[in-house]
Amino acid sequence: MIKALAWLKRKKILGRVFSLVAIIVFVFYLLWVHGLLRVELLEYTAKALTENWIVVILAASLLATPLALAAVGECMNERAGLFNIGLEGIFFLTVVIGVLGAERPTIALDAGAGAGAVIGSLAAFAITKKFAVAEKLGRLLGGFAKLVAASVGGLAVGLIWYFILPRIIPEWWSGIAGLLVGAITGALIGFRFPKLVPTFVGCLAGGVIGHYIMAIVIVGLGGGVAGLLVGAITGALIGFIFSVLAIYLRANQVVLGMGINIFAMGMLAYLLVAIWAYPGIHSVRPVFHIPKMLGYLTPVFFVAIIAAILAHIFLHRTLFGLRIRATGEKPEAVDVAGVRVDRIRILTCTVGAALCGLGGAFFALGWFGEIVKEMAVGMGFIALACVVVAGLEPLLALGIAFVFGFVRVLADWVATMPGISAVLPGAFYLMNMVPFIITLLVVTIFIGRRRFPRALGKPYVRE
């Protein structure tokens, strides 16, 4: 016992715990003095814990899932030096887009094709550059190289526009027009820039593969899983745009994040009316719900656990993880070593936002079962609190997300217990405040004691 206390004191944990306990006791004392806290309320809380503690813990896993996904992704993002406070906005947008992807398969198929096209293009470009594919084919084909490049490029770009243009202009002639215009454009580009042809081919192949993978997911796993993937793709797109604006245009990252939050809050209310013609709420059909075990546990909860473990191993046990951490601490050293700082930050921000988008889609498809305008209010900032308290450690962020989820579920459980309103009028609102009060207290205690990357939030300017 003495050794344990000495270790806590050496790690400066004991003082933090005592400070947190003292603040909580002081807050409860103020509530008691002013009549906002009564013995009956404590009795209801104890009753909820003793009689239903297993249910409360299992229910906490539902809320902890999106918090953990967002927190783990943001840990990786901030390790690389970017700071995205727009997690709540990503939650709001992906709630709607995820449900839309679940209910309308064409949107899910298009999202899968788009994601596959981007991944295929990047993969083809990287392979072409690493193995000098274009140069080797040029030497092999000799004088016919440009002619072959023009032909292949025209075919690839023509087929790409053959699939894209009918989505934009739903007319009978749009596919033929896209094929002709794309073929001409691709042929000219392929003749003038033959090195870009493999990228066009990778884009076409990746789009087709992504389309059929999403179709397999819809048929085999259901529209709910497809909606989760659409939410992740949407989050990745938002993270990519955020990173480009922050890195290349050197936009203020705090302003960008707040802009995402404000835009998403208004867009959620608008989309509810524009898509489903019903303001404020939309119920998701049970066929699109993510299946649960024991009434509460979902496969996405285990995905969050695996994501946290993999992120920890990736950051601390791999060379690329070392580069990510170095990018946040000393980006100029990474640049001197020949590693592109901008690419690392774009990758981590995109992946982190994709995890947050997966959590946002989970709100409606795996937890709540419907879209409500206020369903994710405050959740993005609680996820940021998990990141701060965890000190950018994914595994610790996972545990803290579960603690916050437990507090929120317990507060909701007590607030809805029969007879609580008669004992303490307004108890529902008071208990809903508890998770946010605890969040503020915990962040106040820990934010000054955590060491964050030196270059966090600062755009890197190459000298």
DSSP 404-418: HHHHHHHHHHHHTST
Question: CATH 1.10.3470: which residues of the chain?
Answer: 37-103+223-446
Task: Say yes or no to pLDDT of 53 above 80.
Answer: no
Task: Say yes or no to pLDDT of 35 above 60.
Answer: no
Indicate the DSSP class of residue 194. Answer: G
Q: What is the pTM of this model?
A: 0.87
103: which residues sit within 8 A by CB, 6+ positions away? Answer: 223, 227, 284, 285, 288
More confidently predicted of 35 and 94: 94
pLDDT value for 215: 94
Could you tell me where the beta strands, DSSP code E, fall in 368-414? 370-372
In this prediction, residues 266-277 reach a mean pLDDT of 88
In which residue are the tokens 């965890």 written? 390
**CA atoms of 134 and 35, how far apart (whole Å):** 77
pLDDT value for 257: 94
Task: Say yes or no to pLDDT of 82 above 90.
Answer: yes
| Statement: 37-103+223-446 belongs to CATH 3.60.21 | no
In this prediction, residues 255-284 reach a mean pLDDT of 89
Within a 13 Å sphere around the CA of 101, how many CA atoms are in the beta-carbon half? 34
**CA atoms of 70 and 218, how far apart (whole Å):** 25
The whole-chain average pLDDT of the chain stands at: 84
